[in-house]
Amino acid sequence: MNSVRQIWDDANESKMSCEVLIIGSGAGGSPTAALLAEAGFDVLVVEEGRWVEQGTVVPFSLDQMEQQYRGGGVTVALGLPSIAYTEGRCAGGGTEVNSGLYRRPPTEVVERWRDRWGVSDLDPDELMKTANEVETDIHVTHLPGPASVPSQLLRQGADALGWKHDESPRWMTYPDGNPRHGQRQSMTRTYLPRAAKAGARILTQCRVNTINISHAKATSADVSLANGQAGTISFKFVFVCGGAIQTPAILQRSGLRKNIGQTLAIHPTVKLSARFADAINVPDDVPVHQVKEFAPDLSFGGSASHAGLIALSLLDQWSDFKGAIEDWRNMAVYYAAITSEGRGRVMSVPGLVDPVVTYRLTARDRELLRSGLSRLSLLMLEAGATEVYPSFRGAPIIRGRKDLALAQKRFSVNKASVMTVHLCSTVPFGENRQLCGAGSYGLVHETKNVYVNDASLLPDAPGVNPQASVMAIAVRNARHFIAQENPHA
Amino acid sequence: MLNNSTNTPLIITGAAGWLGRALCSHVALNAERLDISQLIALVRDSEEQVLVQSSLPKDNKLDLRIITGDVTNTSDIDRLFASSPSAFDLVHTAGIIHPKKIAELFAVNETATKNVMQRALHSGARRVVHISSNSPFGNNPHTHDTFRADEPFNPYLAYGASKMGGEIAVQETVSQGLNAVIVRPPWFYGPFQPARQTTFFSMVKSGKFPVFGDGTQRRSMVFIDNLVDGVCRARAWEGEPGRGWWIADTQAYRVSEIVETVGRALTDEGHIVKKNRLRLPHLLGQVAETADGFIQRTGRYVQQLHVLGEMNKTIACDISSATVDLGYVPAVDLYEGMRRSIRWCAQQGIEL
Amino acid sequence: MALAPSLHSLVHPTACTVLRHDLPGLPETVAHEVATFTVRRLSVLAAHMRLGIAVIALLVRLFASIAGQPRLLWLSKTHLPLLGEYFRLIRSLSYAYIWEKWPDTRSDGSPT
């Protein structure tokens, strides 16, 4: 290790040590690292992916998927239908690659978590105060000017139907005041540099295979380094912050299985592309408006829409839809996301490097996805779309209201491209031992020093972009840990 | 915004039907307030003519003209409009929900509606109110969902498809210049009810009303007088043609709540009501729906199966647009409406 | 990555056949480039997915060698579980690559 550089990937020591090991550098791990380092703990952050500077890859491109996503962006929860999901795998995790939209968890959701899962001292007002601090740290703000045309079309369609909508703020700065020139305030721009400044070391391309636990106490982690060598990191405490898929997988590989990886929650999403009379496509950004008329059950928003992604959205009924691709500049992709009652599993299988993920949609989820895609199609017609192309096999081209009946009749979730970018709830926190894998501050039940502090803790899907929930809870838990284990006490 | 300065004749198709008779009765009683100079009722035969006449108050002073004819017969429709004044309003209630053969649904609810709208356009109708249904929009995707004023079509079986066809016909004629609006009542109840509604009371009374699952599925309902009020307000509304409104109670009710309320209304009207014990699994509702769909594809129709198949669904609608646009506020609640319905049955000598 | 060479031999010819059929205007060299990209992406998938794809790809190749190319195309249009997802994965990666790299490609694959 180069003692001067605090962010490095060329570890040549097979044995390292620290006071607090933080596994993962996303929305959970980075704030945890910053707060603990600032409190005086000796922190080592290990990240499986690379450090990729912003601006060196095109947002939402295949290149970005290759460099910053797990499995090149192709990861799947098996089931009927299988559900494609994405996981960031880079320094900063999902915050480097997502749409940057920010939503506080609704108060009733926090109350539900507190009451049903028995999360101690989870006060919605206190959590919102913490969220407020996070919002300052990552510069949560609205656009300094008009939204992009695809975003405005979403708003117009909702207005025509009398449906509620709003502009989701983003954690962005706009140095020149141009809403098109936002700079995302992801973890590599905010909490990770802060952690490094406070003395934390950040080791990238380091994969944690297992945590060695004896008599409920973890002592070290076996890792694989960038050079392919194995290593061991010893520690006093460990925070597992690898996200809702990797965190339970690491815990399971380490022998911890009770209520871990059994209750994966997601926001399943179906899509369509809408074609307009004029050029509206914005290849490198996503709409900021979201339609919340049917929230929390159902939300509508816009997706990344460069030509490659338009082609992808037309793929399921390519024989009828293919002509539209030549008009991609007049098109944009939109989604309908639901709050699912179904649940999935993350299973670490001996001999396999990656966990097997499954997900089962309920009958209610399926009906809601059908209804969601149809309502979204209606909204696009009201927004002025000349043609709507729903992403499912056998879909008709929707040119008018009569076609919506045909689309609903033909729709089946099993024929649709269902995907999600929001994954959580694989190690739910709380004192209800029947339901929870970790305690009210993330300490894994039946361990003395293994903490979880990421999206895995959220007891169920919040119905909104979960990053705000993840960060506020991570900060809350980190502060509780500092109060309990203050190194200067 | 309401416009009451029309003094216009009103044509009612399906005048001898449940809603048609309630509307005739209301118009006859309130002709002056509604500024209606003449009521022209389309009925199919002399039997229906008697039904319409019996629905009017004994001292009726409103000019009533009865035209005998069938909406499925274009020459009858021509005759209806040929004999009408140059300016008139039309409430198109004619429809069929429980046919002998599926083809009747489309003949009445779609084709006849199309013909009526076209004739109304060319005969100079001032305002047309088309009575649709919840069925073109199917069921809510889950029990907490509520249909907004504007929803995508998702017709429930053949009846839904035929009523959707009717709505599309109306909208197409609106685009050609017809001043028409649409009223969509969900499950309605009240005086002038047909025999099948008497069965509803009897089932609740005997504790044998089929409740699926835990009875938490929700249904919007509307007392017929509230519906008639909504129709009259839609007739008088001055706004863009093509608009549609749900006319129902403010909130949808859980099925268990409906059964409990009807039971209470029956008890308070002096009936002995047994505790409802008929709980059916959801699967049975799905089986009934599937069987209904299968039989309908063969062109036949079994009313009991159709009703059973629909009973485990949530059909809930949001009336806020009707409140904002029309000033519609349901005046009679479920309990009071049911009591009035029970009393009406008693007055008619109908045994529950 | 150990499976990459075998995946290439199993998937690349199938991907080329599918692309030639779906996008007859796609130049042959481009089809090869796209298929190579697709195989490269498949080779970084999770191990169990790679394994599953290898098995299906092998069965598809065997089927194609016995039944011939037209039958392979018929197979690519079926929607059987796993098999359908295999062809969908090939098409997803290929189409995304083509239109991201050459956005003005015509719907038959021919360059503008």
Residue C32 within any structural domain of the chain: yes
Q: Which of B142, B152, B164 sits opposite A374 (nearest CB)?
A: B152
B and C make contact (3+ CB pairs below 8 Å): no
Please state, as a whole number, how many other Cβ atoms lie within 10 Å of the Cβ of residue C2. 9
Q: What is the pLDDT of residue A455?
A: 98
Instruction: Give per-residue burial for B221-251: e unless 16+ CB within 10 Å, then b.
Output: bbbbbbbbbbbbbbbbbeeebebbbbbbbeb
Q: State the total domains in chain C.
A: 1
Nearest to B94 by CA among B162, B12, B172: B12
In chain A, the N- to C-terminal Cα span, in Å, equals: 30
Nearest C-alpha of chain B: how many angstroms from A161?
A: 6
Compare all CA atoms of chain B with the CA of A368 and give the residue at the minimum distance. B141
Is B161 part of the contact surface with chain A (CB cutoff 8 Å)?
A: yes
For residues A195 and A43, is the Cβ–Cβ distance under 8 A?
yes
Q: What is the pLDDT of residue B198?
A: 86
Using a CB-CB cut-off of 8 Å, the residues of chain C touching A76 are: 49
Check A352 against C48: CB less than 8 A apart: yes
For B135-150, the pLDDT digits (tens) are: 999 999 999 999 999 9
Check A71 against C49: CB less than 8 A apart: yes
Helix residue spans in chain B (DSSP H): 18-29, 31-34, 46-55, 74-82, 102-105, 113-122, 157-175, 195-205, 224-236, 255-268, 282-297, 303-310, 320-326, 334-347
- Assess if CATH 3.30.410 describes domain A141-182+268-420: yes
Q: What is the pLDDT of residue B4?
A: 46
The DSSP code sequence of A42-65 is -EEEE-SSB---TTSS-TTSHHHH
Residues of A annotated as part of the active site: 422
A and C make contact (3+ CB pairs below 8 Å): yes
Question: In angstroms, rounded to a whole number, what is the distance separating the alpha carbons of residues B254 and B314?
Answer: 9
For A377-395, the pLDDT digits (tens) are: 999 999 999 999 999 999 9
Check A354 against C48: CB less than 8 A apart: yes
A55's tokens: 């601006």
Is B213 part of the contact surface with chain A (CB cutoff 8 Å)?
A: no
Residue C106 within any structural domain of the chain: no
B264's tokens: 């209470």
Check B154 against A404: CB less than 8 A apart: yes
- Which helix (H) or strand (E) element contains residue A407? helix A401-410
Kindly list the partner chains of chain C, i.e. chains with 3 or more CB atom pairs below 8 Å: A
Q: Which domains does chain B have, with CATH numbers?
A: 8-192+221-251+316-332 (3.40.50.720)
DSSP A392: B
Residue C109 within any structural domain of the chain: no
Residues with Cβ within 8 Å of residue B198, at least 6 apart in sequence? B345, B350, B352
Residue type, A454: D
The answer, yes or no, to whether residue B2 has pLDDT greater than 50, is no
Kindly list the partner chains of chain A, i.e. chains with 3 or more CB atom pairs below 8 Å: B, C
The answer, yes or no, to whether residue B206 has pLDDT greater than 70, is yes
Compare all CA atoms of chain C with the CA of A81 and give the residue at the minimum distance. C81
Q: What is the pLDDT of residue B7?
A: 78
Q: What's the longest Cα–Cα distance across chain B? A: 57
For residues A5 and A223, is the Cβ–Cβ distance under 8 A?
no
Backbone angles phi, psi at B23, to 5 degrees: -70, -45
Question: In angstroms, rounded to a whole number, what is the distance separating the alpha carbons of residues A205 and A68?
Answer: 12
Question: In angstroms, rounded to a whole number, what is the distance separating the alpha carbons of residues A190 and B311?
Answer: 56
Counting Cβ atoms within 10 Å, is residue A246 exposed (0-12), middle (13-18) or buried (19+)?
A: buried
Query: What are the domain boundaries of chain A?
Result: 7-51+93-138+186-257+427-485, 141-182+268-420
Counting Cβ atoms within 10 Å, is residue B59 exposed (0-12), middle (13-18) or buried (19+)?
A: exposed
Question: In angstroms, rounded to a whole number, what is the distance separating the alpha carbons of residues A296 and A292?
Answer: 7
Q: What's the longest Cα–Cα distance across chain A? A: 71
Nearest C-alpha of chain C: how many angstroms from A394?
A: 11
Q: Which of residues 86-145 of B touch A (CB under 8 A)?
A: 136, 138, 140-142, 144-145
Using a CB-CB cut-off of 8 Å, the residues of chain B touching A297 are: 142, 144-145
Nearest to A426 by CA among A320, A348, A330: A348
> Could you tell me what percentage of chain A is helix, strand and coil, using 3-state DSSP and rounding each to the nearest 5?
35, 25, 45
Q: Which residues of chain A have pLDDT under 50?
A: 1-5
* Domain containing residue C12: 4-100
Orientation angle between helical segments A307-314 and C83-101, nearest 10 degrees: 150
Question: In angstroms, rounded to a whole number, what is the distance separating the alpha carbons of residues B275 and B256?
Answer: 12
Question: In angstroms, rounded to a whole number, what is the distance separating the alpha carbons of residues A160 and A152?
Answer: 12
Kindly list the partner chains of chain B, i.e. chains with 3 or more CB atom pairs below 8 Å: A
Nearest C-alpha of chain B: how many angstroms from A114?
A: 23
Backbone angles phi, psi at A109, to 5 degrees: -70, -45
Question: In angstroms, rounded to a whole number, what is the distance separating the alpha carbons of residues A84 and A106?
Answer: 26
Residues with Cβ within 8 Å of residue A214, at least 6 apart in sequence? none
For B260-282, the pLDDT digits (tens) are: 999 999 999 999 999 988 888 88
Q: What is the pLDDT of residue B322?
A: 98
Q: In sequence order, what are the beta bridge partners of A266?
A: A423
Give the CA radius of gyration of chain B.
20
For residues B85 and B93, is the Cβ–Cβ distance under 8 A?
no
For B179-201, the pLDDT digits (tens) are: 999 999 999 999 999 887 888 89
**With bands split at pLDDT 50, 70 and 90, how would you rate the model's confidence at B296?**
confident
Q: In sequence order, what are the beta bridge partners of A450?
A: A238
Compare all CA atoms of chain A with the CA of C99 and give the residue at the minimum distance. A308
Q: Which of A234-238, B111-115, C81-85 has the lowest mean pLDDT?
A: C81-85
Nearest to A427 by CA among A269, A240, A255: A240
Residues with Cβ within 8 Å of residue A382, at least 6 apart in sequence? A156, A157, A160, A161, B150
Residue C78 within any structural domain of the chain: yes
Residue C44 within any structural domain of the chain: yes
Is B153 part of the contact surface with chain A (CB cutoff 8 Å)?
A: yes
Instruction: Give per-residue burial for A307-334: e unless 16+ CB within 10 Å, then b.
Output: bbbbbbbbbbbbeebbebbbbbbbbbbb
For A417-430, the pLDDT digits (tens) are: 999 999 999 999 99
Homologous superfamily of A7-51+93-138+186-257+427-485 in CATH?
A: FAD/NAD(P)-binding domain (3.50.50.60)
In chain B, the N- to C-terminal Cα span, in Å, equals: 42
Instruction: Answer yes or no: is the ipTM higher than 0.90.
Output: yes
Compare all CA atoms of chain C with the CA of A73 and give the residue at the minimum distance. C45
Q: Which of B152, B168, B171 sits opposite A408 (nearest CB)?
A: B152
Q: Which of B138, B141, B148 sits opposite A163 (nearest CB)?
A: B148
For C19-68, the pLDDT digits (tens) are: 999 999 999 999 999 999 999 999 999 999 999 999 999 999 999 999 98
Residue C12 within any structural domain of the chain: yes
Q: What is the pLDDT of residue A48?
A: 97
